[in-house]
Structure 1
Amino acid sequence: MTPDWLKQIPQAAQDYIAGRRLDEVECIVADIAGVARGKAMPASKFARQDKFYLPNSIFLQTITGEWADNPTGAFTEPDMILVPDYSTTTAAPWSADCTLQVIHDVFDQQGAPVPMAPRNVLKRVLSLYEARGWRPIVAPEMEFFLVARNVDPNQPIIPPMGRSGRRAAAKQAYSLSAVDEYGKVIDDIYDFAEAQGFEIDGILQEGGAGQIEINLNHGDPVRLADEIFFFKRLIREAALREDCFATFMAKPIEGEPGSAMHIHHSIIDIASGRNIFSDEQGRETPAFLNFIAGMQAHLPAVIALLAPYVNSYRRYVPDFAAPINLEWGRDNRTTGLRVPVSSPESRRVENRLAGMDCNPYLGLAASLACGYLGLVEGSDPRPECLGDAYMSEDELPLTLGDALDIMVESEPIGEVLGKEFVAVYESVKRNEYKEFLQVISPWEREHLLLNV
């Protein structure tokens, strides 16, 4: 007899376990970094429970495994209640056993959403849109590198070996032959995505050596953040199967471009179903310009979320195809805010500042928060940039410490994302930044040891 919860899961998950014995269920949540935390259990045990427990300290753990100070009170680690969102159930096709993954929503013991949980932060922002009769639509682009296995962190990262026996080459953007070099990994990504019920809009070679971009279809922000969260894991597993690594570091290889998570946004009026960026004649609306103005005004305050590590700021350098400005332009890839060519129905704004190392829930929440504030404030953007925006002056914080300073000083961002979340996020990131500053780099040893 089929347990009742299996009747609630997506068709792709039902197809995956059809005719098989389900062995294990992974109960997972995304922590501050976007790392999957939780517990795995026998499917029979999962079927007998409707909630699970984890300590709230998982949102105070840094990327290195250390613990940040709790700015909201004593470090007592009370349990949170995890409730499965069965709509997120998907296969873990790389597992030896028949395994399903389920993302869980996180509540405190009084039943309120835990404000530090990244999925809850995104839902909080979406609720502000909904209260005004709006529904955001997003379309993310994921860039990442396939690299040779690197088991010694002291050694530089290098491109993977292709089927030709040569290492992947740079400056081969959009080359199908370059993609074919690591075709087995791509095949595994397609196979895993199909088993998990994910639709890939396209895969292409980017400008870096072994750098790939995957585009996802537009849709609901929470659903797409869930997919990116799952995709990062499936891509890593596909790479490991073919004896290489997949990395979502913003800047993994010296001298190569970085990896971004470009985010396309449009806003639907819930009552009419129309894109509020276009009027009935197909022209740009004041709301369209307000959204851009909000991005220009508030993006500096969320760069700490879009560029969450010290490595993230290595991507923000001139002449490496990463915009480091807040200019906007139509079909202009040198601007941080690009308006792609589109029909009036799909008119949208592309934020090109986020790095692929960001937590997808927080990256989408931060970007949408800026646009929301622009819509509410009703301000106008600067004039459109018609030339090369790479020549613009730097407008973004260029270190993690500076980015955190701007974030905590922004009252509007604190109100939209939640002040308790901002305090916890700052605590985690200050801890990571302090740890990084204790590491002496090869550059320092080479140039300072005998010269200063």
Structure 2
Amino acid sequence: MRDDRSGGDWLDRLPEAARLYLNGRRPDEVECVIADLPGIARGKAVPGTKFARQDRFHLPDSIFYQTITGGYAETGAQWTEPDMILTPDMETASAAPWAEDPTLQVIHDAHDREGRPVPMAPRNVLKRVVAAYAADGLTPIVAPEMEFYLVARNTDPARSIEPMMGRSGRPAAARQSYSMSAVDEYGPVIDDIYDFAEAQGFEIDGITQEGGAGQVEINLRHGEPVKLADEIFYFKRLIREAAVRHDCFATFMAKPIEGEPGSAMHVHHSVLDAPGVNIFSDGEEETPAFRHFVAGMQNHLPAAIAMLAPYVNSYRRYTRDFSAPINLEWGYDNRTTGIRVPVAPPEARRVENRLAGMDCNPYLGIAASLACGLLGLREGRDPTPPLETDAYDAEEAIPRGLFAALDALKADAPFRDLMGERFCAIYEAVKTAEYDEFLQVISPWEREHLLVSV
């Protein structure tokens, strides 16, 4: 959206948390940011005085053709690198509390010169899916959970990632789910996460120790999808900044440490009708819409996996050994299934997608998950019976590698149409280029087992 900052002092119209952070000061710098396909912040830092005078800036659309390693995908597009017009969404104005001088961050929206949303921009993809719900008279609500590891500083890619050193002088321990003493081991990092989140106006619903060594989960309160995706985008940065302050790294890799659980971004979904009533409940009973939503997840999540598990490392998480889903079974309060229905009162009845990894772009992960549910509502099909046993005893039923996931994406025309055909084509090209780069790297496993044995 275009922000009109003419007349008066634009600082007076900032969100309350940003105004409290500035406390009467004028920002020394404003970071104008947009998420690329991996979810990395791209943009420009400008003096606060310049930002007050501008209502847009420009970046080439080629940032969406770039791989995670800095290469570029072959898209068949003419390489003139046209500029996008980026306009600030001032509702996203937020503190950068780790900066030495007063600094704000502002997320921008991307349009072309004719004012049309740039289809490859992840925030626009999510807005497209939310708009499709609105066209059907519906409002989606999501609640994400973020898992990540706090690890020892690692500047050598050849060295294995290790747990961070706790305040006791001992490495963080594994198999300590929900342990308060385990969280206390890295309490100073958690304290900074809380402080940074408060300065940015974010409400944390809870922080817990997960099963991995140094693995933490942060739950966010439910809300509007674009707003929650913005918060996760910001949260990844603030968590990294908090970790660096204490001589460790935060990593959102899906599977960073051998022999330890992976990190997920579980997403809880509910849907409201025009009066604001949860369409999954009719009094105490489940509705047909609830069953259709679950069926949409089962039928279309294979196409979404390429966005929920975007890297070769992502597929290391899908294993029977570490409580990550391996199929599309669903069940009530069953954490072995890929689709879980948590215990909740009827007004809060919701569906949890447990397939997304924390390495996914939050805009794309939430958009893809919501798209599956909406297609289910439109198609009106029923799911399989709920599973009451161990889902790990059932057959694997999700793509187990990036190429297989891209094949599933290519085959699902309704999903592609909802996400945007142009976006899907660019996404496939970027992911194929990343995989080709990966294949050029010879791993220690290959050298150990193949060098003199084959």
Q: When the two structures are superposed, what TM-score results if normalisation uses the length of structure 1? A: 0.98
Counterpart pick for 1:51 among 40, 48, 56 = 56
CA distance, structure 1, for counterparts of residue 92 and residue 117 of structure 2: 18
In structure 2, the partner of 1:314 is 316
In structure 1, the partner of 2:67 is 62
CA distance, structure 2, for counterparts of residue 19 and residue 349 of structure 1: 44
In structure 2, the partner of 1:392 is 394
In structure 1, the partner of 2:281 is 278
CA deviation vs aligned residue, 1:418-437 (integer Å, no higher than 9, x gap): 00000000011000000001
CA distance, structure 2, for counterparts of residue 120 and residue 151 of structure 1: 35
Aligned residues: 449
How far off is 1:3 after superposition? 5.7
Q: Once the two structures are aligned, what percentage of the paired residues are identical?
A: 70
Amino acid at match of 1:87: E
What secondary structure is seen at the aligned counterpart in 1 of 2:109? strand
Kept in 2: contact 1:319–1:390 (CA 8 A): no
In structure 2, the partner of 1:5 is 10
Matched, 1:298 2:291: no
CA distance, structure 2, for counterparts of residue 330 and residue 376 of structure 1: 23
Matched, 1:95 2:99: yes
Amino acid at match of 1:286: P
- Aligned pairs for 1:22-37 (under 5 A) are 22-37=27-42
CA deviation vs aligned residue, 1:2-56 (integer Å, no higher than 9, x gap): 9633233210001111132310000000000000000000000011011110000
What secondary structure is seen at the aligned counterpart in 2 of 1:319? helix
Kept in 2: contact 1:83–1:104 (CA 8 A): yes
CA distance, structure 1, for counterparts of residue 428 and residue 139 of structure 2: 29
Counterpart pick for 2:121 among 117, 122, 125 = 117
How far off is 1:413 after superposition? 1.0
CA distance, structure 2, for counterparts of residue 16 and residue 276 of structure 1: 39
CA distance, structure 1, for counterparts of residue 11 and residue 124 of structure 2: 25
CA distance, structure 2, for counterparts of residue 23 and residue 213 of structure 1: 33
The ranges of structure 1 where at least 4 consecutive aligned residues each deviate by more than 3 angstroms after the TM superposition are 1-4
In structure 1, the partner of 2:132 is 128
Matched, 1:260 2:264: yes
How far off is 1:439 after superposition? 0.3
RMSD of the TM alignment (CA)?
1.0
What secondary structure is seen at the aligned counterpart in 2 of 1:251? coil
Kept in 2: contact 1:53–1:79 (CA 8 A): yes
Return 5+ residue gaps in structure 2 as ranges: 1-5
Amino acid at match of 1:404: L
How far off is 1:143 after superposition? 0.1
Q: 1:172 to 1:56 in 2, by over 3 A?
A: same
Kept in 1: contact 2:15–2:91 (CA 8 A): yes
Kept in 2: contact 1:334–1:390 (CA 8 A): yes
In structure 2, the partner of 1:354 is 356
CA distance, structure 2, for counterparts of residue 259 and residue 399 of structure 1: 17
What secondary structure is seen at the aligned counterpart in 1 of 2:321? coil
CA distance, structure 2, for counterparts of residue 356 and residue 245 of structure 1: 15
In structure 2, the partner of 1:380 is 382
In structure 1, the partner of 2:332 is 330
Matched, 1:86 2:90: yes
CA distance, structure 2, for counterparts of residue 28 and residue 159 of structure 1: 31
- Aligned pairs for 1:401-420 (under 5 A) are 401-420=403-422
What secondary structure is seen at the aligned counterpart in 1 of 2:286? coil
Amino acid at match of 2:212: G
CA distance, structure 2, for counterparts of residue 406 and residue 380 of structure 1: 21
CA distance, structure 2, for counterparts of residue 145 and residue 19 of structure 1: 37
Kept in 2: contact 1:329–1:339 (CA 8 A): yes
Counterpart pick for 1:183 among 180, 187, 200 = 187
Q: When the two structures are superposed, what TM-score results if normalisation uses the length of structure 2? A: 0.98
How far off is 1:67 after superposition? 1.0
Kept in 2: contact 1:8–1:87 (CA 8 A): no
Kept in 2: contact 1:172–1:206 (CA 8 A): yes
